[in-house]
Structure 1
């Protein structure tokens, strides 16, 4: 994907440039409170193992707060059909299964077969039947157009940040009305909110955020858990 040009209209830069826009920086929780919130929901053994397996495979693990948020969101929409872009080592998949309906099916796409083998082991370790997940090894932008319009309750974006905007576009097509689009790593380690940062990944994330906030068919919130979790409901 070619480098993305900066946009002056990004939500982060707009807030920083206009002191009249209310912010919550002064009321942000202390570090201890943030850690308390992140660790509020205990992590299961399988999820902890998936986190350990992530680093050797070059996968950025999700925080405990992000994992618990994914479970909560999947439960909130009573998800039965879920698409995941970026299988990783199964950490996010485990979180989704914990909130999905007992007959729910996860379709997960990842370029790396090694990652999916680890995810399969993680799912099997907690007794998730093989017919409840489809692990597709391939390019997401090749696979996603083959999936049915409006057939999914939740779409999780956790793949290549340079392709986030394309993933968002595909995700909106796949979602039913009332379904949830969820995007991980949207704060980019603090770079998204810093207008001086203009690397390709950060710009791509800002463009994806803009695509969501500018879409009148979406009701969105950017949750400050882990490295940022965008959640948007399709009207």
Structure 2
């Protein structure tokens, strides 16, 4: 049994990044080391893209197919496994793209994503932790992924029932909220009980600014 919670991006001055926010170096730790700190009271927070799963290739192929579909042109876009293709790349790769076609490509990309689920790779080290502790500890998915795409991935890998709570991302305005602070507040838990698995540097900073001990964050 799990509960999913959509968090909405809204304008909240307390969540806007400022110069007073902490930015520290995360210790280079192995999963086996951080696992030693898991107790029965620990709440495990997992990011998804780049953490539980590697979606870069599926994301790239979805964009490529969408670009071909809308422009009727076969653009030569090189795949870089270490760099995620995003909307900024789209405007750089497809020059003179109208705003209408830009939005159509993004929409088509979401539609085509299901065609490339087989290109997503499960991170076995992280998923093994999830499988191992999902029956003994609270497990929480905290992702910036859209709800529909996240559910496609979770269902494909049969991960949905491994989480007690799932926080998705939705858009309502342009300001970014701290996904970790949001989850901690809504679940009414102490950040001292949380261990985080995350790959994005900016999101790691958010976890620290939410009060989570940097020694309890595994940077992937």
Which bin holds the TM-score, normalised by the shorter protein? 0.3 to 0.5
The higher-RCO structure (CA 8 Å, 6+ apart) is 2
Say which one has the larger Rg: 2
Q: TM (normalized to structure 2)?
A: 0.38
Q: TM (normalized to structure 1)?
A: 0.36
